[in-house]
Structure 1
Amino acid sequence: MNITQYSITSALLALAGAPLHAQTADAVPAIEVVGRNSAGSYHTSEAAGAKSGLALRELPMAVRVMSRQSIDDLGALRLDDVLDFAGGVSRQNSFGGLWDNIAIRGLAGDMNNGMALLRNGFSSNRGFNAPRDTANIERIEFLKGPAAALYGASEPGGTINIVTKQPLWRAAHALEAYGGTDQFRRVALDSTGPLGSTLAYRLNAALEHRGSFRDFISTERQLLAPALSWRIGDGTQLHYRGEIVHHSAPMDRGVLAIGASLGAVPRERFLGEPADGDIEVRNQDHQLELLHELNAGWSARLAFAGKHGTMRGFSTEAQPALQADQRTMQRQRRYRDYRSDDAALQAELNGQFVTGPLQHELLAGVEAYRFDFDQRMLRANPNGAVPYAIDVLAPVYGQPQPVPLPNTDTQEDQENRAFYLQDSVRWGERWRLLAGLRVDRFEQSMFNRRSGAVTRQSPHSASPRLGISYLLSPQWTLFANGGRSFRPNAGADAQSRSFAPERGRAAELGAKWEALSRDSGATLAVYDIRKTNALTADPANPGFSIAAGEVRSRGLDADFTGRIAQHWRANASLSHIDAEVRADNTLAAGSRLLNVPRLNGSLLLMYEGFSGTLGRASLGGGISYSASRPGEARTAAQVKAGLPEFSLPAYTVARLTAAWHISPRLRLSLDIDNLFDRNYYASSWQRTWVSPGAARSVSVGLQTRL
């Protein structure tokens, strides 16, 4: 489907009534502008994902918001580009560069779906999703700690909520064009305005071609994101938010280590087969939201989200280990044909009332969703008799490719019904209380078309959360919270029995500071998280899993955002994470969790001002640091045999950004990533799947407001 077909499909779905947003058009700040900006704020005072009227300074939980200005100053075109600048975040397996995946506070999500991700308050990570583009993102909210009391199945370390751009009730238009190294080309459109006295629109679109420092790798991307807001009558509004993405790129599992050492295989070397072509990922996401004010203190919300996604294509992927000569790598050839459909419905009632000295903001909601996931994989697994190997030190491409045979053919169906309550309480001038509870009834069935086996499970869960804040002064807040989480484990064990769901519990203690001017703020938090029933290998049945693992993460993270002087703004983070295996059948107890460094930090610093005859200009840069971290899960057998641990080395990466406002409507930008061209490794799944960090890249952009 081309971009024109996308436009027609999206328009029809909008007219038919497809999807939603959590904020009204009247709530848009008057200073909001379209296109890339240079004079906004890093600091925000609210987070839509918290679903509370309490300001961020008063919320008894750590929340990190990456504003649109932060995204622009980083020159971030993907969600992945901002992750190093949010405290407590560590990169995880990116599925060959075809999805986003991180761990928050050391705990990653489902290995088949990735991190816990929301889009305007709806789950957005079920199924396979292309890397998120930032063209239609207004801000990114990192909700740290357990969010299951509001959103159900999730990780106790945290959840990300992406807030998309909404229509403005004034005309504004921006067009951007970029070019750079590795044949990088991109154009983007941001257009908004009223279509009458009661209807407003917004349209974000982007077309991109991106080469790579990696051999044989290039990416094509098209994004179309329409949005509509309709003021139906007094106190009643209808919002539509759409997003249609086509992402095309080869699956790239990266480089490998020889023994426990990296570097012998250069970072640009591709170990797949160019003849495989691209993996095609297509996503359509439509949200519709109806808001109605019942009276002065109460309102109702009804919202629907529909998602459809596909992933298709061939890939050649390295096996887990080199052969004895330490240079020959056997490979598999795979064909994936994945399809997912996801429909969710939310209904909420929100109101305020007073009981004695307590002022309540009550949220009561119900949610239901159905998710269908069809996975079909063909796989060729050659051996010594039928080789499909590559010399990693002197690769030769173009050898005959084996024909993959049926390997996986499953149909998974999930249904969930939930009820949740949240009470945000103000007790006098200094005390704030946040209490929540969600009850989920989950049903899952898995049909294996090859074997005929059917696996079913129906776990139930109650997820409570309680937090308290004390406003020590107009600037300082102390807070504490605790909560529980759960996440169903998909699949089946060797006896075709379903797994017990993962269950987590977390406690957090911290302090917040906000300037009296409300243009800067900071958060410091310490936490302790435990999770049980993590899937682990079944020692009695190789190739199968059992739910018996236990992990723990504890640490500290600190964030600062805002202005530090009239012309200076800063975005800083620092985190220490001690995440380890506590019990497991295969992994070594006490071993650290995959890809999680003990220490990471970042700093983004920008100067914005006037410079003589040049007019308004900005100059700044960022630096991010990650300590060494495990590059593969360490087994008890490896420890017993005395084998060296495989780790990814520490790295520090710098970036530079500059902009010149040629006129009030024309802006020229320069972005240099990996300024000193450091050779580093961003993440790993095993020794033969190591993702090298991007080499230095330079891009120049021209942004105009029409």
Structure 2
Amino acid sequence: MLRFAKDRRLLAGTLPFAMVMAPFGATAAEEAEAGASADGEERSEAITVTGVRQAYRGNFAVSEIPQSIAEIDAKTLEQNGIQRLTDALDLNASVVRQNTLGGLWDSFAIRGFAGDENMPSGYLVNGFNGGRGFGGQRDAAGIERVEVLKGPAAALVGRGEPGGTINLVTRQAELGRTFGTAAIQYGSWDRVRGEADVNVALTGGLTVRLIGYAEDGGTFRDHVHQSRWGFLPSVGLAVGPDTRLTYDFEKTRVAVPFDRGIVVLNGDFDTVPRSRFLGEPGDGDTVARAEGHQLRLQHEFGDRWSLLVGGSIRDTLLTGFSSDAETVASRQALYRDGRSLSRQRRSRRYAANHKVIRAELAGEFDTGPLRHRVLIGADHDEFTYDNYFTRYRPPTLASSPTGQQGNVIDILDPVYGRFPLPATSVTTDRTDRQRATGAYVQDQIEITERLQVRIGGRYDRVTLETDNRLPGAAMSHVRRKVDRFSPQAGVVYKLAEPVSLYAAYGRGFRANIGTDVNGVIFDPETSESIEAGVKITLLGGALNGTLAVFQLNKANVLATDTDNPGYSLAIGKARSRGMEFDLNGRLPGGVDVLVSYAYTDAEARSSMLDPNFSFQISPGDPLINIPKHNLNMQVAKTFAIGERAAQIGAGMQHLGKRSGETGTDFMLPSHTLFRLFGKVDVMKHLELFGSITNLFDEHWYANSYSPLWVQPGAPRTGTVGLRARF
């Protein structure tokens, strides 16, 4: 009750702020409209630099980049009522969900490759590495757009997965303007949410943007109540006509019970209802916190050169207990009687600190008839991860354990709190540090009006350290340095004004965290990527599409050390290849359309044992949670009801069947989900909006780690709300 009251007070404090700002903003908007000409002239004289350039991109139209790029913009996020990054990424078929640590981090695969399944997926925030750490699933509040940068980008971005990179462009202070939105909404399972986004021009060159959200309510899962809040302000300052300084702050908190999902016994996905919680409410919430700072300075040197420098620091902490189904068959009573689920009990304290500094010079020059557009940059990245993990494990069935010793719950008739919560003992007490310094250069040469060639490369020096504080560890402190060069090459040929052909090649790497049985830090994963495609621009730029084919290869994937059970070796190989099609824009008649399809064939390419359960993996075995077919489509139409503007839209996602456990034949079934969304102006500056997801209430499964850890997807879910604009 105390937690509930505290969360309600937080909502009560946020929502009145949002609603009070709405009428104030309407007045401000009317005043600004009345004096737009004069104010606009004054601002244009005082401020020249108003936008914020994105790192790693340079001065290129999308059609000139030898890479497949998809964007999920603010309008699409708002239309669908999206509140989590995970749901936003569902809109692009090249990205699929992976194991989310009981719903407490973001994990996804791009073009079939996911990286380390024991860590959250990395992503960029305004070009800075920002996704690592344990701050909970990223909320969509504060996100202006999501960029899915597919293919071989390691030559610029650096250490990462070969399938691509996610870059989140946040909502940043817009200089010289005052505007905002505020919204309150109510959804299924008594979920209440309020959010506000207010951009205030304090002076001609100083603007503050205040973004906040708070959410509280139940879920379709029994005993799983969640609360979350965040404060994400941005400050923009024009330092002269050609220089802009931007500071972004992040403070978030998520509290939710750790939830491994349901069990699937003998392939029966109806073994238990999708709502059944198989953890222990007495474990309480797992809490994830994040605090981050990001500072960027952008300077324009005339029309052809610009400099972007900045730094970021982010601290995250995840703490809590959970009761998770035991996955080893020799300890699992469920396989004997079909109802007694043996459970481990775990505690986690994952703390991470991530620091990044970087600088990039972008510009262009000519050498005779050739036009060069170059990027020259360097960065330094430090990531420190403290992993303190404790566990209680049920004894083997051969010892005939009691129900209490097995920490058993009856999956058909659960009685929570039946036994005292077992005490745990330390199994991991370790600090991993990664320090990386890199420099890169890229030159895109315009040889003719139709032909452009891109060449580039990046050199990285990475230092890996592990401090193992467990008694009896083979080595308490180990350190290793790795040097890598990641080249890239690409070509773009304009076949006709609306059609461009491209091809690209690149190599990359990603450090493996941890050590082998001898305490030696693993070799890094290495990768090789190739892709080719065609880009089209139709209807005067209103409609854009990309068709691409690709192949990715990885080596040094972690696998079980067969001579030393419980340890791993970097010996595995994997391959992913496929085809993608992305189309978005506006059709004649004002119809917005989005189509995204991916065929992905991702498989193991060597014989090895799975590092988690030691299942045999053979060449050709599919990678976990990767469907061969993924399709997302939606349309939206704006129209008028009398004098009121309105919009209605519909979408569909089809996800094919996919492996639910590495090295076995357990498969998650395919599913097709439909959604509706719409909005209508109820008065000036105030709109009513709503959405329904999983319209036909299909049973579906978001991801899986084993048949005993399957995450069911939400049933039909409705949301309705009011949004004020000014």
Tell me: CA distance 1:296–1:673, structure 2 relative to 1, closer, same or farther (3 Å). Answer: closer
Q: TM-score of the superposition, structure 2-length normalised?
A: 0.88
Question: What corresponds to 2:23 in structure 1?
Answer: none
Aligned pairs (5 A) from 1:52-451: 52-168=58-174, 169-320=176-327, 321=329, 322-383=334-395, 384=401, 386-398=405-417, 399-451=419-471
Letter in 2 for 1:517: G
Contact in 1 for aligned 2:173/2:199 (Cα 8 Å): yes
What displacement does 1:342 show?
1.1
What displacement does 1:218 show?
1.4
Letter in 1 for 2:559: T
What displacement does 1:303 show?
0.5
**Which 10-residue stretch deviates more, 647-656 or 581-590?**
581-590
Instruction: Tell me, in whole angstroms, the C-alpha distance in 2 between the residues paired with 1:240 and 1:112.
Output: 32
Contact in 2 for aligned 1:255/1:271 (Cα 8 Å): yes
1:481-514 CA distances to partner (integer Å, 9 max, x unpaired)?
0101100111001111111110000110100111
What displacement does 1:393 show?
1.9
1:558-584 CA distances to partner (integer Å, 9 max, x unpaired)?
011011222211111111111100103
> What RMSD in Å do the two structures reach over aligned CA positions?
1.9
What displacement does 1:307 show?
0.4
Question: What corresponds to 2:613 in structure 1?
Answer: none
Letter in 2 for 1:557: E
What displacement does 1:49 show?
5.6
Contact in 2 for aligned 1:522/1:560 (Cα 8 Å): yes
Letter in 2 for 1:581: A
Instruction: Tell me, in whole angstroms, the C-alpha distance in 2 between the residues paired with 1:296 and 1:509.
Output: 32
Answering whether residue 621 of structure 2 is matched by residue 598 of structure 1, we say no
Instruction: Tell me, in whole angstroms, the C-alpha distance in 2 between the residues paired with 1:158 and 1:170.
Output: 35
What displacement does 1:540 show?
1.4
Question: For 2:155, what is the secondary structure of its paired residue?
Answer: helix
What displacement does 1:607 show?
0.9
Contact in 1 for aligned 2:152/2:162 (Cα 8 Å): yes
What displacement does 1:151 show?
1.5
Tell me: CA distance 1:148–1:305, structure 2 relative to 1, closer, same or farther (3 Å). Answer: same
Counting helix residues as a fraction of each chain, which structure ranks higher? 2
Instruction: Tell me, in whole angstroms, the C-alpha distance in 2 between the residues paired with 1:195 and 1:248.
Output: 35
Instruction: Tell me, in whole angstroms, the C-alpha distance in 2 between the residues paired with 1:621 and 1:401.
Output: 47
What displacement does 1:50 show?
4.5
What displacement does 1:585 show?
1.7
Letter in 2 for 1:608: T
What displacement does 1:363 show?
1.2
Question: For 1:500, what is the secondary structure of its paired residue?
Answer: coil
Question: What corresponds to 1:641 in structure 2?
Answer: none
Question: For 1:526, what is the secondary structure of its paired residue?
Answer: strand
Instruction: Tell me, in whole angstroms, the C-alpha distance in 2 between the residues paired with 1:55 and 1:376.
Output: 47
Contact in 1 for aligned 2:257/2:285 (Cα 8 Å): yes
What displacement does 1:153 show?
1.0
Q: TM-score of the superposition, structure 1-length normalised?
A: 0.91
Aligned pairs (5 A) from 1:484-499: 484-499=507-522
Instruction: Tell me, in whole angstroms, the C-alpha distance in 1 between the residues paired with 2:698 and 2:480.
Output: 48
Instruction: Tell me, in whole angstroms, the C-alpha distance in 2 between the residues paired with 1:245 and 1:598.
Output: 36
**Which 10-residue stretch deviates more, 381-390 or 215-224?**
381-390
Question: For 2:62, what is the secondary structure of its paired residue?
Answer: coil
Contact in 2 for aligned 1:237/1:292 (Cα 8 Å): yes
Question: For 2:314, what is the secondary structure of its paired residue?
Answer: strand
Letter in 1 for 2:624: L
Answering whether residue 660 of structure 2 is matched by residue 631 of structure 1, we say yes
Contact in 2 for aligned 1:113/1:125 (Cα 8 Å): no
1:116-175 CA distances to partner (integer Å, 9 max, x unpaired)?
311111112222231111110000000001221111111001110000011122110211
Instruction: Tell me, in whole angstroms, the C-alpha distance in 1 between the residues paired with 2:246 and 2:293.
Output: 11
Instruction: Tell me, in whole angstroms, the C-alpha distance in 1 between the residues paired with 2:455 and 2:255.
Output: 44
Question: What corresponds to 2:686 in structure 1?
Answer: 666
Answering whether residue 644 of structure 2 is matched by residue 618 of structure 1, we say no
Letter in 2 for 1:605: V
Instruction: Tell me, in whole angstroms, the C-alpha distance in 1 between the residues paired with 2:530 and 2:677.
Output: 38
Question: For 2:422, what is the secondary structure of its paired residue?
Answer: coil
Q: Percent identity?
A: 37
Answering whether residue 603 of structure 2 is matched by residue 580 of structure 1, we say yes
Question: For 2:75, what is the secondary structure of its paired residue?
Answer: helix
Question: For 2:608, what is the secondary structure of its paired residue?
Answer: coil
Instruction: Tell me, in whole angstroms, the C-alpha distance in 2 between the residues paired with 1:427 and 1:274.
Output: 65
1:544-564 CA distances to partner (integer Å, 9 max, x unpaired)?
110011000000010110112
Instruction: Tell me, in whole angstroms, the C-alpha distance in 2 between the residues paired with 1:225 and 1:355.
Output: 45
Letter in 2 for 1:702: L
1:260-305 CA distances to partner (integer Å, 9 max, x unpaired)?
3321111001110011110010011210011223444322222000
Instruction: Tell me, in whole angstroms, the C-alpha distance in 2 between the residues paired with 1:234 and 1:671.
Output: 44
Contact in 2 for aligned 1:92/1:684 (Cα 8 Å): yes
Answering whether residue 697 of structure 2 is matched by residue 677 of structure 1, we say yes
Instruction: Tell me, in whole angstroms, the C-alpha distance in 2 between the residues paired with 1:48 and 1:349.
Output: 12
Question: For 1:81, what is the secondary structure of its paired residue?
Answer: helix
What displacement does 1:394 show?
2.0
Question: For 2:548, what is the secondary structure of its paired residue?
Answer: strand
Letter in 2 for 1:55: A
Answering whether residue 473 of structure 2 is matched by residue 467 of structure 1, we say no
Instruction: Tell me, in whole angstroms, the C-alpha distance in 1 between the residues paired with 2:449 and 2:640.
Output: 42
| Structure 1 portions without partners, runs of 5+ | 8-29, 31-45, 636-644
Contact in 2 for aligned 1:359/1:425 (Cα 8 Å): yes
**Which 10-residue stretch deviates more, 513-522 or 692-701?**
513-522
Answering whether residue 722 of structure 2 is matched by residue 702 of structure 1, we say yes
Contact in 2 for aligned 1:52/1:424 (Cα 8 Å): no
Instruction: Tell me, in whole angstroms, the C-alpha distance in 2 between the residues paired with 1:87 and 1:57.
Output: 20
Instruction: Tell me, in whole angstroms, the C-alpha distance in 2 between the residues paired with 1:535 and 1:308.
Output: 28
Instruction: Tell me, in whole angstroms, the C-alpha distance in 1 between the residues paired with 2:696 and 2:292.
Output: 39
Answering whether residue 669 of structure 2 is matched by residue 646 of structure 1, we say no
1:13-39 CA distances to partner (integer Å, 9 max, x unpaired)?
xxxxxxxxxxxxxxxxx9xxxxxxxxx
Of structures 1 and 2, the one with the larger relative CO (CA 8 A, separation 6+) is 1
Instruction: Tell me, in whole angstroms, the C-alpha distance in 2 between the residues paired with 1:552 and 1:211.
Output: 41
Instruction: Tell me, in whole angstroms, the C-alpha distance in 1 between the residues paired with 2:506 and 2:143.
Output: 29
Contact in 2 for aligned 1:345/1:367 (Cα 8 Å): yes
Letter in 2 for 1:471: K
